[in-house]
Amino acid sequence: MARKDRTMDAAAEKDAEKWMARFQVRLAVQPGVDRAVVLQAVKEVTEHCAETGEHPRTHFGDPDAYAVEAAARLVPTDRAARAKRHNGVLKTVESVVKKIRDVPGL
């Protein structure tokens, strides 16, 4: 019986690690998120799970949705807005460059 418990614990731990990895990736791509924001959010989740023994999904839900929520809470709105504008400009430039490359003879 003890062996089965360890297997279940290992499976739950691996699932929690997958949740955390997905959360970090999704958080990192949110506008205005930098390394400090990711570290702060990961620390909050890790501390909560260590204190309660809960799986992160139990308390925080879907990692993608929580990444959006955490970014909205931890990133100053002016920085997030600036990053969104910057990303929009980059996408426009990339689109123009791609169209130019598609023109024969250029």
Confidence of residue 11 (pLDDT cuts 50, 70, 90): confident
* Cα atoms found within 13 Å of the Cα of residue 91, Cβ hemisphere only: 6
Distant-in-sequence, close-in-space partners of 45: CB < 8 Å, separation ≥ 6: 20, 23, 56, 60
Q: Which amino acid is at 92?
A: T
pTM, two decimal places = 0.67
Confidence of residue 28 (pLDDT cuts 50, 70, 90): very high
Q: pLDDT digits over 46-104, tens only?
A: 999 999 999 999 999 999 999 999 999 998 766 555 655 555 555 666 666 666 677 77
